[in-house]
């Protein structure tokens, strides 16, 4: 009798992390002639996560090549259109024409922002990597966003030890990643809330976590949050977190998202460090 059955089972650890078990059941006949079943349960979570990361990396690599071409082809004519619209706006027009030109200019700015993000997506080369102080990186990021109206009613708490080793990153890119996460948290707490930014040293990495008190993310969306062009925002491009993921992976780091049991979301950025 050889009717072995293999099945993969997905489980969620309180909605925060997904894991996999492979369950193999093999029917047997015991010495007494009675039918029995041998069940083997294997934790294959690490293997499945490696497969998912490889698939995601291949997807990002392909999209990066496409993004570079699209950004170039759209960027040049868009610059010309923007220049002509700016000239027209400086001329005398009736109210309808002025409002129409203002609307066109707003849409041009939105397209320009998308093109800029697509260009950033295709330029995540690991250049100018050197040790940087985490406390300083977070401080520089907060200095850039402190006047953003989305942070007006948000309390930011910092817990970053001074003695952490420097992380091996590109300063501009890592600030971009932190900014994307902070502003995403702010969008999730439109009516106000608390953002806790903490850093700690792990075995081989420094982990910087961003914990908000927003409504959290559904398990379904959690699986797609780093996919290019995926967004739940009305005016979002869906590229900010995809770019951030690409940047952190290029440092041989990691970025994960967890749903807090009490509500809210935690983004954890893990970066390789340099021991002085």
> What is the rounded CA–CA span in Å between residue 183 and residue 240?
10
Q: How far apart are CA 231 and CA 229, in angstroms?
A: 6
Residues 67 and 139 both lie in one domain: no
Q: Round to whole Å and give the CA distance between 208 and 199.
A: 4
| Concatenated DSSP letters of the chain | ----EEEEEEEEETTTEEEEEEEEEEEEE-TTS-EEEEEEEEE-HHHHHHHHHHHHHHHHHHHHHHHHHHHHHHHHHHHHHHHHHHHHHTS---HHHHHHHHHHHHHHHHHHHHHHHHHHHT-----S-EEE-HHHHHHHHHHHHTT-GGGTTEEEEEE--TTPPEEEE-HHHHHHHHHHHHHHHHHHTTT-EEEEEEEEE-SSEEEEEEEE-S----HHHHTTTTSTT---STT--S-HHHHHHHHHHHTT-EEEEEE-TTS-EEEEEEEEEE--
Q: What is the pLDDT of residue 122?
A: 59
Give the count of domains, the chain. Answer: 3
Find the domain containing 188 and state its range: 130-274
Same domain, 106 and 179: no
Residues 141 and 265 in one domain: yes
Q: Does 161 lie in the same domain as 32?
A: no
Same domain flag for 37 and 160: no
- The pLDDT assigned to 236 comes to 65
Q: Based on the domain organization, do 146 and 200 belong to the same domain? A: yes
Same domain, 186 and 108: no
Query: What is the per-residue pLDDT for 16?
Result: 45
Contact 164, 175 (CB under 8 A): no
- Token pair 């009305």 in the structure block, residue: 234
Same domain, 255 and 137: yes
One domain, residues 137 and 265 = yes
Same domain, 205 and 146: yes
Write the CATH number for 109. Answer: 1.10.287.130
Measured CA to CA, the distance from residue 223 to residue 245 in angstroms comes to 13
State the Cα–Cα distance between residues 248 and 126, nearest whole angstrom. 10
Q: Which two tokens stand for residue 21?
A: 């078990």
Q: What's the confidence (pLDDT) of residue 269? A: 96
Last residue in a domain, options 121, 147, 177: 121
Retrieve residue 144's tokens: 């850039």
Q: Residues 6 or more apart from 4 whose CB is under 8 A from it?
A: 24, 25, 26, 27
Q: How many whole angstroms separate alpha carbon 141 and alpha carbon 117?
A: 18
Q: Is the same domain home to 13 and 143?
A: no
CB 166 within 8 A of CB 132: yes
Same domain, 30 and 162: no
Contact present, 60 and 228 (Cβ < 8 Å) = yes
> From first to last of its 276 residues, what are the pLDDT tens digits of the chain?
556 776 766 665 544 456 788 888 888 887 877 888 888 888 887 787 777 767 766 766 676 677 777 777 787 888 889 899 989 988 888 889 988 998 898 888 878 877 776 666 656 556 678 999 999 999 999 998 888 889 989 999 999 998 899 999 989 889 989 999 999 999 999 899 999 999 999 988 999 999 999 998 887 788 788 877 777 776 666 678 888 888 898 888 999 999 888 889 999 999 998 765
């Amino acid at each position: 009798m050889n009717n072995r059955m293999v099945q993969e089972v997905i489980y969620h650890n309180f909605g925060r992390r997904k894991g996999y078990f492979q369950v193999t059941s093999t029917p047997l006949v015991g010495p007494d002639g009675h039918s029995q079943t041998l069940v083997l349960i294997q934790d294959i979570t690490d293997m499945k996560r490696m497969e998912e990361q490889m698939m995601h990396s291949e997807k990002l690599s392909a999209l990066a090549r496409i993004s570079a071409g699209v950004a170039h082809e759209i960027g040049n004519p868009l610059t010309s259109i923007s220049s002509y619209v700016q000239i027209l706006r400086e001329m005398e027009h009736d109210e309808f024409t002025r409002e129409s030109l203002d609307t066109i200019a707003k849409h041009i700015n939105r397209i320009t922002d998308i093109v800029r993000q697509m260009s950033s997506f295709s330029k995540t080369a690991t250049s100018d990597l050197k040790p940087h102080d985490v406390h300083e990186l977070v401080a520089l990021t907060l200095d850039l966003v402190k006047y953003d109206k989305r942070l007006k009613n948000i309390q930011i708490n910092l817990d970053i030890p001074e003695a952490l080793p420097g992380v091996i990153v590109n300063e501009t890119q890592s600030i971009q990643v932190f900014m994307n996460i902070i502003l995403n948290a702010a969008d999730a707490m439109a009516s106000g809330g608390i953002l806790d930014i903490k850093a700690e040293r792990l075995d081989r990495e420094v982990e910087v976590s961003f914990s908000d008190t927003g409504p959290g993310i559904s398990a379904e969306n959690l699986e797609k949050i780093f996919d290019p062009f995926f967004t739940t925002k009305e005016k979002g491009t869906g590229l900010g977190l995809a770019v951030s993921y690409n940047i952190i992976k290029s440092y041989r780091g990691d970025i994960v998202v967890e749903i807090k049991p009490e509500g809210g979301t935690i983004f954890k950025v893990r970066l390789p460090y340099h021991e002085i």
